[in-house]
Every structure is written in C-alpha cells, then in structure tokens.
Structure 1
C-alpha cells in the first residue's frame, strides 16, 4: 500500500474524523485522493495556505488543530508569561474562517493559554494592531488573502504584530512537525478554561481607527473628490468606510461587493492584481464620474487603484501606486519640515526601481528585503531599537504598503486614506495621479513593471516548478531576448555573478529566488510562490518611452517563456 493510500485509509476510518468530511472522502476518485494525501500541507515561514477540504494536503479542522497545537507547544516553551499574555485571533469572510478561529481559541484554552478573538471578521492589519495594542505574545489570522474561494489559510504573528520571521517560524515548524497524528487532537476545553477566551471588538476597532486617521499629512485638504470603493466581499468594508466618513471623504461603495460572502458571488476575482477585480467598480466609477477607484482584497492588506485620466480609467500596478505614495509622502514631509533624520524606506528585491529613485530624490535611503512583509516588519523592529534610521514608508509590488508602523503588516485602510488624500491634494493643483506618475517617469526614467504567474498544480506541478529553477541555476543565461545579462543574484546559493566575478550575497535569508540584471537597465526575477502553486516571473523593464518599455516587456516575457520551456 502506498503512503498516499495509507494516509487516506487512516483518515476515512479514524474515529475522530470530523463528520463533515466522511462523505467527501468516501466519494473521492484516485486523482482526488492523491492530491489530498500525497504530501502534508506545508507549514512554512508564511504559515499555511491551501485548498479547503479533507486530507493531509488540505486546510481543514484537523490540519488547523495540528498547527495550533504546535504553536501552543511553542508558546508553552516560552514560559508562563507568554501563556498569560495570550494570543489575538482574527479571521476573514471565507468558508470556515470563523469556525477555525474559535476552535483555535478553544484549543489554546485547553493548553491554558489566554486568547482574544474578534467578534466578527476583521482585516489582517487590525489583527496585527490588536497584538500590539493588547500586549499579546502573538497572533493567529485565519485568511487566504487574495486566493480564490476554494482556499483558506493560517498566519502567525509575533509580539510585535509581525508575521513570524524564519528563525521564529522554524521553531514553530519543529513543534508542528513533531505532532504525528492530527486526528487525535481535540479542542474540548473545560468551562474553567473557557474563561481564558475574551471576545474583542469595538474597543480595538476604535483605537485602530484613531491610529489610521493619524497618518493624514494634509487633513484639511479640499476633499472635493469621489471615490468608488470595493472590499471584494471581504473585511475592508466597515473600516475603510468608517475612516473615510470620519476624515470627510465621499465614498461610493460597490454595494454588491460589500456583503461578507465566502463565495465572492459578485466579483470574478477577489485579487486586485487581476483585471476582473475592477469590473463592477469601473461601472460605478463611470456612472458617478469618480476620480478614484480603490479595491481591497478580502483580508484588507492589499489595495488596487484605478484613476480617472483624460476621461478614461487607468488601473495602476502595485509598483506604480507605491511610487505615487512615496512621492506624495516624501514631498509633503519635506515641505512641512517633518522629514526625520536618516529616513529609510523598505521594499523587496522584486519591487520596481522607480520607487527607490523617487525616495532617493528626497534623501531617503532604500533597504531591500525578500518577498514577504514580515521581512519589512523585522527591519522596522530593528531600527525601533537601534534608532539608526527612521521609518518613512514600506511597500511590496503586490499592492501592499504600510504608512505608519503601528501595524506591522500591509495595511489597506491606511493606504486607502493616503491615496485619497494624495488624489485630493493633486486635484487642487490640476493633476490626477497618472499625471503624477508621468512626472516621475520624466524625472527618473520610464519603467513598465509586470508579473507573469505560471500555475502548476498538484505533485507534478510542484516538481515542474522546482525543475524550472534548477535548470536556470544549471544553465544561467548569458543573455535574455538578445540583451546581455550583466549581473545575476541567486538568493538560494547566496551568490552574485558579474561576468567571471563571483561574490557572496549577504543580508538575506536563503530563498529560492533568481534575479537577472540586463545591460539596458532592466531586470527580471523568478521565484516560486510561497502561497499558491505558481512560478512567478517579475519584470522591471526600462524604456525610452511608455511604448518602448511596453514593447520590450512583451519581448522579454516571450524570451523567458522560451527559455524556461526548453
């Protein structure tokens, strides 16, 4: 009997199997069994994310309990004070999110660990805030972020409200992996232990809103703009509308997408990186002659942007909206003599060069991290202690940014408020946000940034992704699409190659990322997704004009497709 079949038989016949999974397991075909049981769902440095359903390679009550018991063992090992400080728990609108969250609280209570669970769905950044505000030892967020409706996930936070960095995550992973039978774990705590669970809500909301409102640089700006806003059925609905109301902005919600629907019934996709997320919002914008479209993902850590420009609506990339945010924030801090000494901005190794050039124009240095906002949070925590540098901004290319670090994760409500203010500020100068972006191209060079994701599901897909990266390492390209590669960085092997010269790449945790710098000032990066069955290709292409940059992007994308298919 294969290991896959053994796992299946164990589950389908186990007396502790949750009753809702029995019929699903008994009706699985061989292909479904293999995908659900061929491996154990990975509890990695980003927690867990996967398809909902029964199986060792799925998100379900049993794999969630295994993760939570491992986390509980980690908390207990940290000592009595850690158990008493407790864990804040948040959750989004997805199927089973609320059930998972309260089950986590019960299991922690069974382990004599205090918890604070939100009464209803809340944004990921508010969970990060709650950890800090309540003085907790850590946090759990039940969310699959921007993934399709079939997914859910589990993220862990430290006492600073930051997702666990690799060194801490490794300790939890060891505890999780030491648990052999996830089906043997139950969350039945006593009535006395139940008293360790506190349900939280409006008090924490109020403090979070106050902090979000504190980011305004020009609170008295003329707010004569119309904003169409969609939470994509997720957690951003109430907080963003409440912040806008208090700040005095006119917000037109996409009503059909304001219900917390786990099936995302009225949107083609909840992912702001995909055009379908904007379809209904664009209809609203045209009908209401809106200045700005803002779309948040379900757990409200990412924000997509559409701008009315010359009578048409232009959807910005995360790199573009991030660069506009940097320009506005830095220009206003400078104008108001509020720029701190030794200012620093953080972004990632797959984020566009444009933002770094904008920041440098205002004397702000940029430090790069690997993909994952936990690395930016780690940098914030470091300088909070050393005071060597002062935080100004942090962002990723994937539509996530953080204005003020009272939160230690991407924060869409903050970003929504700042983009609204920037839009209002520039409107009184006769400009829209695309005009601002174009002025940045004039000053710093024209870039087109894009991402192509190759989806490769299942065991065969996972092996193919590994093969693509292995082949690129084995035969490192000397040129891509006829343009010379002048330098490459390998974040797994920790080396930089420039011609025949090889030097050590330092300052990063080892990660399966390759980055190629081209002779024309462009770069291309490749990495497997940490949360989806995808191999991602990132392009930052420099051109003499928008048209030139676009044509070169198409050319380089085709070249990489041919290179990785050979």
Structure 2
C-alpha cells in the first residue's frame, strides 16, 4: 500500500483556501482531480506564489497560486491597483493593455481590464492582438501610468504571462516590482478583488489609431531611405510571425519602408495559440524556423525574418552560397550595431555622447566596434528593462545619447520611441542592411565575416541547464551557484582562471594578484569567470524556475578563415562545457 502524499504546510494552506466557497466549481474539480492523480504536480501549483522574473510573471496556465489563471491575474492586478492608490496623485490613473495570440490571452486581458476599471482606473485596451513594442509605445504616447502585456513570449503553448511596464514604457524594476508583489500577497481571496464589466465607461477599446502613430514615430528611422524606396523591391524577404502578433505590424512597416517583395510562411501566417507547426514558438530554436527555411529556399529569397508571438524578438536566416545560414542573437546585434555606427559616421551624424547599451552576456565585439567609432558602450544586467532604465535616465539628464540596444537573446532596439525590445523596427533595419549588401552582390554573412576579419572572431554559445521540477530543482540550482561562488574552478580544459566576477556581492577578484575591484552595477545573482585565451563563462540562474544559463564566449584576434576557426572555436567551447559538467558533477547534458 502506497504512502499518501504529504503536502507542504504552505501548499495545504493555499489548497484549503482554493477549495473554499469563494472559488468556482470547475477550479475545485480540477484541484480534486490532480489531488487524486498527480499530487506532486499539485504541490508545485500551490507551494508558492508567482514572482516577477526577467520576463515578468510567467507560468503554465492551470489552477493554483503558482500558475497563470483568472484568479492569479486578478490578484496581481488588484495588488497593482492598491499600490497605485498608495502613490497619491491629483490626476486620474490610466493604464493600457495588450495581448498576444495565446489561447488565454484575450480572456486574461479582459479580466485585467475589469479589475482596473473597478478600481476607478481608466483602461485603454486593444480590440485585437498587438505586438509588445506597440504597447510600450502606447504607454508613452497615451501618457499612461502603467501598461500590461498578456504574453509568455516564446514559451510553449501551455504557458502564459503578465508583463508590467511603468509610465516610461519600460518593464518595472525595483522598488515597483517588489511593492506590487507585496500588495498582491495581501490579496488572497476573490472577496479582496474588485471587478467591473467590459461595458464599463472607464474601458476604451482602440483599433488601429495607435498603429498609425507608431508608423509615424519610426518613419525617420532609416539610414538610406531613398535607396530603400527605390530598390527595396529587389530584396526578397520571407516572413513568419510564428502564429503571433507580428503579422499585425511588420508587413505594413516593411512595405512603408520600401520592402514590397514579401512572402509569407503561409502555415504560420495567422494567429493560433496552439502554435501547431512548432514545439515552441521560439525564433532562437532551429526547429521553429524549419518551415521558414523551406520557404526561403523554395522562393529563392534573400532573407527569412521570424518573430516570436509578442514580436519583441527577431531571428534572421540568410541565403548565402546556396545555404540557409541562421544568425544568432550576437551576430545580428553585431551587424546592426556596426551598420548604425558606420552609417552615422558616413553622414557625419555621430553624436559626441552617443552610446550603445548591451547586456553583459552579449558579445564584446560590440564594445570593440563602438570604440572604433569613438562611441560609448555600456554593459547592463540581463533584462531589457535595464536598457530601458538607462534610456529614461538619459532622456532627462541628456548625459548620453542612446543609439542602439541589444541582448544576445534576439532582442534589439533602434530609436527612442519605446523602452523595450522592438522586432518591428528592427525587421526594417535588418532588411535595409540586407538590401545595402545585395546591391553590392554580398550577403549579411559576408558583412559579418568582414567584421570578424577586422575586429577578431567572436564565438558564443549558450547552454540551458534544466533541473528537476519543483523545490528539488530549485535547491539544486542554489547548490550549483554556491559551489561556483565559493570554489570556482581554477582551471578548465587547460585554461587558467584569471578573473572572477560576483555580481551579487558586486566585486571582481583578480586571481593572479588577489586584488578586488568593486563593480558599479545593481546586485544580481550572476557569476562570470574569465580564463586565459580570451575565454569567458557567465552563469545566471532563473529567478523563478529550476534552470541555469551558461554563456560561453571566446575571442580569436587573428582570423583568416572564419569558417574553419569558428568550427574550432565551437569545438573548444564544447570541450569546456564537458569539463564544467564534470567539475559540477552534473549528469545532465544541459544542451
């Protein structure tokens, strides 16, 4: 006879509350079913509450305090309302809401609107799905106090999420994120939630008015508009929104910019929250781009552009020497950064205080390029909200002039119209760069290889380590970070550890001189190990899930044969990853 499953004290408390009179019967039936069939999973649903990670709230849609559902959406929204009420203001509060193509996104958006309206907050909500960049733009354009995007970005179909943006259009940072969670934690029952109806006079539905304003705002963001308008039709582009919101804006903007020769990946053209053609609608993953590559080849097109469901991230595949070559996030960011700086330089338009902002884990090649053009390059923590934060600071102080922002996770921003990643304007930017090269019988790959030959070959690879689910995996994650923090490997694969960075404790230790340097960045649970031969490993755990990310990078300063030396570089990184697995006593392959 099997032993009955024992729920933790916290899970038991939450379960009892959700099985009470304030919750609906369908929810209670689902809880009982899981209790009978999968109590371990149910434990994970109720053992904690959702917290804001790098991408806001994000979880599987299901019952429980640790899942996305109408109750957790409502509790979070009520918590936001209570926090906004605490921030006393003479003007009425206003929010804007958008959503992507996920199955529950529209319902979650409507529920969010009803709670805001019931709290006497004016709501602007889109009638149809729209990209995240348009939401950030709308937040600023409509002078809103806050914005909410219902999306789980590139996660599998069973997920959804809730991203919150402050009045500047950037995702919330401390203290706002912590304050919202504190207020949300006090909302434990539907009785604590105010709720109106969708016909409330405080709810305003918008159609395409903000689309047109966005197009107008980015109309000047070209570096060779005459050439684009005259020759843009010569560039054959294949586009896939991966069943998401990008279809509502990107084709229209490309056409406005002169890129009229556009072919769809028809199987992925229309919104569908089931994402039936992919396992996960993630443009980082090759599997998600298979249909796009087939269309690229059958149409004999020049480039494939792919965006994730909320259209803040963008992937590019290039037809080069009869091959379909995918650019990773570092490579696309490098190409865009160099093209922007070289174009401004040729036009004598580089500002004296021009600055590119990138995350610490994004290729250092951008730093070398920036230095070459006399431009600053600022490193910030992972999360585009930190780039948005600097943009807002500089908007007021005029201390620096923002030129471009980039993250290796396929997120980029040209322009100052929003405060987050924007795959919409960057689709037009990459098309302009591709056209400029095509008119010279070159491709984006040729452009990239020229940069490697000039500045050195940079090879980057990301390993995602997924651990066991629930509290066991979270404990494993903490143990791995503790081991690396307290006893990092002094050598790896024959490469000597030179510097050790601990961003949580804000120091850099020179392992050769034993000198410590203070880091001028907000505290973050991230480690960086710099080895001999220009090899760097950065380790960052997920804030909310049992996962870790390992970012490997190496630099080869002299690069004659890009293809061969790139293969050698990837082979070396693979060996270093195996050595690190052995050091950490990991059984998973982590790839």
Same fold (TM over 0.5): yes
**Match of 2:20?**
14
Return the offset for 1:502.
4.1
CA offset digits 1:251-289 (Å, max 9, x no partner): 111111122111100223211111111100001000001
Return the offset for 1:16.
2.4
TM normalised by structure 2 equals 0.92
Once residues 458 and 319 of structure 1 are traced to their aligned partners in structure 2, the CA distance between those partners, rounded to angstroms, is 32
Does the 8 Å CA contact 2:31/2:63 hold for their aligned counterparts? yes
Please give the secondary structure, in 2, of the residue aligned with 1:27.
Answer: helix
**Match of 1:211?**
217
Please give the secondary structure, in 1, of the residue aligned with 2:83.
Answer: helix
**Match of 1:410?**
421
5 Å-filtered alignment, 1:123-134, equals: 123-134=131-142
**Match of 1:31?**
40
Return the offset for 1:542.
2.0
Moved over 4 A (4+): none
**Match of 1:140?**
148
**Match of 1:335?**
346
Identify the range of structure 1 (453-462 vs 527-536) with the bigger mean alpha-carbon deviation: 527-536
Identify the range of structure 1 (163-172 vs 375-384) with the bigger mean alpha-carbon deviation: 163-172
**Match of 2:103?**
95
Segments of 5+ residues of structure 1 without an aligned counterpart are none
- Tell me, yes or no, if structure 1 residue 237 matches structure 2 residue 243: no
Identify the range of structure 1 (35-44 vs 50-59) with the bigger mean alpha-carbon deviation: 35-44
**Match of 1:565?**
585
Cα RMSD after superposing both structures:
1.7
Once residues 548 and 127 of structure 2 are traced to their aligned partners in structure 1, the CA distance between those partners, rounded to angstroms, is 37
Once residues 238 and 563 of structure 1 are traced to their aligned partners in structure 2, the CA distance between those partners, rounded to angstroms, is 48
- Tell me, yes or no, if structure 1 residue 556 matches structure 2 residue 569: no
Does the 8 Å CA contact 2:51/2:544 hold for their aligned counterparts? no
**Match of 1:312?**
323
Once residues 81 and 397 of structure 1 are traced to their aligned partners in structure 2, the CA distance between those partners, rounded to angstroms, is 42
In the superposition, relative to structure 1, how do residues 493 and 265 fare at CA in structure 2: closer, same or farther (>3 Å)? same
Q: 1:188 aligns with which of 170, 178, 195?
A: 195
**Match of 2:68?**
59
In the superposition, relative to structure 1, how do residues 198 and 425 fare at CA in structure 2: closer, same or farther (>3 Å)? same
Return the offset for 1:560.
1.9
Once residues 515 and 50 of structure 2 are traced to their aligned partners in structure 1, the CA distance between those partners, rounded to angstroms, is 37
CA offset digits 1:192-212 (Å, max 9, x no partner): x92111111211111112223
Please give the secondary structure, in 1, of the residue aligned with 2:225.
Answer: coil
**Match of 1:507?**
520
Does the 8 Å CA contact 1:8/1:33 hold for their aligned counterparts? no
CA offset digits 1:22-64 (Å, max 9, x no partner): 3321210211211211222224564311111001111111111
Once residues 211 and 267 of structure 1 are traced to their aligned partners in structure 2, the CA distance between those partners, rounded to angstroms, is 34
Return the offset for 1:13.
2.1
Return the offset for 1:190.
6.9
Please give the secondary structure, in 1, of the residue aligned with 2:226.
Answer: coil
- Tell me, yes or no, if structure 1 residue 526 matches structure 2 residue 546: no
- Tell me, yes or no, if structure 1 residue 199 matches structure 2 residue 205: yes
Q: How many residues align structurally?
A: 563
TM normalised by structure 1 equals 0.96
Q: 2:506 aligns with which of 482, 490, 494?
A: 494
**Match of 2:4?**
none
- Tell me, yes or no, if structure 1 residue 78 matches structure 2 residue 65: no
5 Å-filtered alignment, 1:362-373, equals: 362-373=373-384
Does the 8 Å CA contact 1:85/1:135 hold for their aligned counterparts? no
CA offset digits 1:493-520 (Å, max 9, x no partner): 1111102534343322211100111111
Once residues 413 and 201 of structure 1 are traced to their aligned partners in structure 2, the CA distance between those partners, rounded to angstroms, is 18
- Tell me, yes or no, if structure 1 residue 117 matches structure 2 residue 101: no
